[in-house]
Structure 1
Amino acid sequence: ALLLAGFAAVLAPSGLRRRLPAALVRNWCRWVVRAAGVRVRVTGTAAPEGGLLLVANHVSWLDIPLLAAVRPARMLAKSEIRHWPVAGGPAARAGVLFVERDRMRALPHTVDAIARTLGTGAAVAAFPEGSTWCGRARGPFSRAVFQAALDAGVPVQPVRIRYLAGERAVSTTPAFVGADTLLASLWRVASARGLTAEVQVCPAVPPGRHPDRRSLARAAEQAVHGHQEKAHSKSMCSL
């Protein structure tokens, strides 16, 4: 119940969330993760103010409050979530920007909507891999969302999220992949001991440094993943 109450900070109506001090939202989101029994360690510099595209690798449902702990932002989500019986309404009221991934014709409209949001000085958060991975494997960054940052002339803030068992070993326990259910994932995380969420805020990529979305996406992907090889299947992601 405490964990679900904590998500109210992330899924609060966007107007109310804008009136809350950013430091309060960040601390509340960290508390959400700690309520699940996961320690939080944030390293790096503070994210810039003003319009900003936050991008991170995607492992778990915990990534959402962790990214909001870096800077409160409007999330990108697949359009199906809008119609989910419990989460759809709160997500829409929270200002989530819904993306129709399977309709290529809708892509220019989606990019334009994200760019307009960024142009208002808001932050938008996205997971360019498009789906969750276990942390040992990863997917390539989709380029479309980076076009919105170019069009709006705003910086891109890469963020790397890792879940550790102890101090060094990468843990797949928080991963939410495949046929896993949210209830099973919640129970697995709550039952684990010694989990740490490590959030590394990489240097922001200023506007104008990269001429096109391909090179901008590559730079952000390199910042987040370094030299970790892409995995084209999730066979490495058995929990």
Structure 2
Amino acid sequence: MARLRIALFLLALVPATLALLPLQALAVRFGWRIGQRIPMLFHRLVCRLLGVRIAQHGEPSPDRPLLIVANHLSWLDISVISTLAPLSFVAKSEVASWPLFGLFARLQRSVFIDRTRRKGAAEANREIAERLAGGDAIVLFAEGTTSDGNRVLAFRSAVVGAARDAISEAGHTGHVIVQPLTVAYPRRGGLPVSRCQRPSIAWHGDMELLPHLAAMIAGPPLDAVVAWGRPIAFDAGSDRKSVTRRVEHEVRATYARIATGREPQV
């Protein structure tokens, strides 16, 4: 049965991928507006094929520039979040070299950070600032890596500094909106996910990507909860560390509520 599910998943996804990839490549190259919608359609298909049911609480801010700061559990987070709005992501540089997944990330106009280079973060911050100033909504996984699902790791404040750079880049605005976003997977197969089950759902540590993907396809469907937090106006006088701590506190509290079966406060 597991092999049949995997086969059906690939049978549906591969033709859709082959049809959408060339169109998205052209859209990115020539700046077509449809390039913002194709990733949404693709990720909605992925979630539907995986049986992921998404509950959204709150909504993304309509204001721009918009930097979305989220927790990170799995590769699945990207598909879940991408179903909701036209977004781009900040990713580590090695993602760009991954087979197929790297291509997907590039065609969704991800910003890649090379943490092995001293100037890598600064260069990425400049690109993030330019994209924010241009009106793009950018998602930052502020933990810097995926957690095991039982906790939210400490948020890093360095990339939040790109929000200040975006203020000077934009010229026409005095602030950037920083919005917390919480992602959680509280139920699987209709049953609450226990503390010992969360690490198998999260993709963390040295787990291999393809076996984890196969297990997600073959396993019971997940319920995903996405909760948008209160937008914060980040201006030239804002302290990035203080804003990062505020966002981290809200995401941590919201994640705890969702993981324990309570409704998130939005």
* TM-score where L is the length of structure 2: 0.73
Instruction: Return the offset for 1:69.
Output: 2.4
Give 3-state SS (helix, strand or coil) of 2:238's partner. Answer: coil
Does structure 2 conserve the Cα–Cα contact (< 8 Å) formed by 1:47 and 1:71? no
Which protein has the larger Cα radius of gyration, Structure 1 or Structure 2? 2
Equivalence for 1:123: 137
Query: Does 1:48 find its partner at 2:62?
Result: yes
Does structure 1 conserve the Cα–Cα contact (< 8 Å) formed by 2:24 and 2:35? no
Of residues 34, 47, 51 in structure 2, which corresponds to 1:33? 47
Q: Following superposition of structure 1 onto structure 2, how do residues 136-215 of structure 1 map, counting pairs within 5 Å?
A: 136-152=150-166, 153-165=175-187, 166=190, 168-169=192-193, 171-172=197-198, 173-208=200-235, 211-215=238-242
The C-alpha deviation readout for 1:174-198, integer Å capped at 9, x for no partner, is 3111222222112222232252011
Distance 2:30 2:150 in 1: 37
Of residues 81, 105, 111 in structure 2, which corresponds to 1:97? 111
Which is richer in helix? 2
Q: Which is further off, 83-92 or 69-78?
A: 83-92
Give 3-state SS (helix, strand or coil) of 2:109's partner. Answer: coil
Does structure 2 conserve the Cα–Cα contact (< 8 Å) formed by 1:130 and 1:142? yes
Query: Does 1:66 find its partner at 2:80?
Result: yes
Does structure 2 conserve the Cα–Cα contact (< 8 Å) formed by 1:210 and 1:216? no
Distance 1:137 1:22 in 2: 32
Instruction: Return the offset for 1:84.
Output: 3.1
CA RMSD in angstroms comes to: 3.0
Give 3-state SS (helix, strand or coil) of 2:235's partner. Answer: coil
Provide the aligned length of Structure 1 versus Structure 2.
Answer: 228
Distance 2:214 2:95 in 1: 22
- In structure 2, stretches of 5+ residues that fail to align are 1-9, 167-174, 257-266
Equivalence for 2:146: 132
Query: Does 1:86 find its partner at 2:100?
Result: yes
Q: Partner letter of residue 48 of structure 1?
A: P
Q: Partner letter of residue 162 of structure 1?
A: A
After the TM superposition, list the runs of 4 or more consecutive aligned residues in structure 1 that deviate by more than 6 angstroms.
21-24
Instruction: Return the offset for 1:226.
Output: 1.8
